[in-house]
Amino acid sequence: MKHSGTLLKMQTQLQEEVQYHLPVGEELVYLNELIGQTIKLTYENEIYCIKCGRKTVKSFNQGFCYPCFRDAPEAADWIIHPEKSQAHLGIEDRDLEYEKSVQLQPHVVYLSLTSGIKVGVTRHTQVPTRWIDQGASQAIKLAETPNRYLAGMIEVSLKQHLDDKTNWQQMLKNLQPNIDLIAERDKVAMLVNEAYNEYLLPKSEIVHMNFPVLHYPVKVKSIGFEKVPEYEGKLVGIKGQYLMFENGIVLNIRKYAGFVVSVEV
């Protein structure tokens, strides 16, 4: 069967095994049942901006055309740097209404195990999606705040003690230290500036993510549609937003949001 259309990042559900659907145009391709099978991906040499829908020759920041990357509130700095959020002060960055709608809602500061242990921030509605997307095998909530700014400030205060980045090769090889996240949460809670103590969640529980992977690679080789417009191979697993094929070949689907691709299964 062949599906063609614009790709978006994979949709996920946390079940006993994480469930993945790949949006291809109007269709949702269920991927878990394709693991162990050969699939063929062909880039049709067109990209459409995920925000405005215009055709673009290049994708910026995982799916935007250049004008949207430059101007759209969805591509602003405070997305990556929550501590730069200013909607709680009524200060506009690119679009105050949008910024209020996203920033002024409950946010979670969490610890997750991806390659090592890392600290991160997300809207509470994005739990556990955010954890699945980053390929975390486990995660635990550290704090919940009423807005994005406060969560960002807690994260910043912990950056000198913890990573905030994932080493994606290590994540895909499933190499991570054996860490007790409950003990770690208790330890990290002591490091949070006491001005934020009221937001700590001392009784939160570990959430486990079990990814559909037949076998993890020893070495990882990333491919992309720019250099490899056509790829056919046996799908051996999915972790985070990566498809994993035989011989350690991996494809970061998120990077190709907006690309027109056909998927043959």
Q: Is 65 in the site for Zn ion (CB under 5 A)?
A: yes
Quick one: 68 or 140, whose CB is closer to Zn ion? Answer: 68
Applying CB under 5 A, the site for Zn ion has a residue count of 5
Residue 2: partners with Cβ closer than 8 Å, 6 or more residues away: 262, 263, 264
Residue closer to Zn ion, measured from CB, 52 or 179? 52
Contact 70, 49 (CB under 8 A): no
Residue 175 touching Zn ion (CB under 5 A): no
**Burial of 265: CB neighbours in 10 Å, binned 0-12, 13-18, 19+:** middle
Whole-number minimum distance, CB 76 to Zn ion, in Å? 14
Q: Are 115 and 170 in contact (CB under 8 A)?
A: yes
Q: Rule CB under 5 A: is residue 52 a binding residue for Zn ion?
A: yes
Q: Given the rule CB under 5 A, which of 41-49, 136-144, 197-205, 248-256 is the region that contacts Zn ion?
A: 41-49
Q: Tell me how far apart the alpha carbons of residues 204 and 209 are, in angstroms, rounded to a whole number.
A: 16
Element (H, E) at 153: helix 148-158
DSSP tag of 210: -
51 vs 239, which CB is nearer to Zn ion? 51
Residue 140 binds Zn ion, judged by CB under 5 A: no
Residues in contact with 66: Cβ distance below 8 Å, sequence separation at least 6, in sequence order? 56, 58, 60
Closest CB 123 distance from Zn ion, rounded Å:
23
- Taking the complex as a whole, the smallest distance from the CB of residue 80 to Zn ion amounts, in Å, to 19
Phi, psi of 41 (to 5 degrees): -115, 130
Q: How far is CA 242 from CA 9, 55, 252, in A?
A: 10, 25, 4
Told to check if 68 binds Zn ion by CB under 5 A, we report yes
Among residues 49, 181, 235, 257, which is the contact residue for Zn ion, using CB under 5 A?
49
Write out the two tokens for 159: 């950056």
> Shortest Cβ distance from residue 75 to Zn ion (Å)?
9
Q: How far is the CB of 67 from Zn ion (least distance, A)?
A: 6
Q: Which is nearer to Zn ion, 65 or 142 (CB)?
A: 65
Identity of the residue, 66 or 196, whose beta carbon is nearer to Zn ion in the bound complex: 66
3-state secondary structure of 58: coil
Q: What is the spatial distance between Cα 144 and Cα 126, in angstroms, rounded to a whole number?
A: 13
Contact stretch for Zn ion (CB under 5 A) within 60-68, 106-114, 151-159, 168-176: 60-68
**For residue 177, how far is the Cα from the chain centroid?**
21
Which range binds Zn ion by CB under 5 A, 49-57, 73-81, 129-137, 236-244? 49-57
Q: Judged by CB under 5 A, does residue 47 bind Zn ion?
A: no
For binding to Zn ion (CB under 5 A), which residues are involved? Answer: 49, 51-52, 65, 68
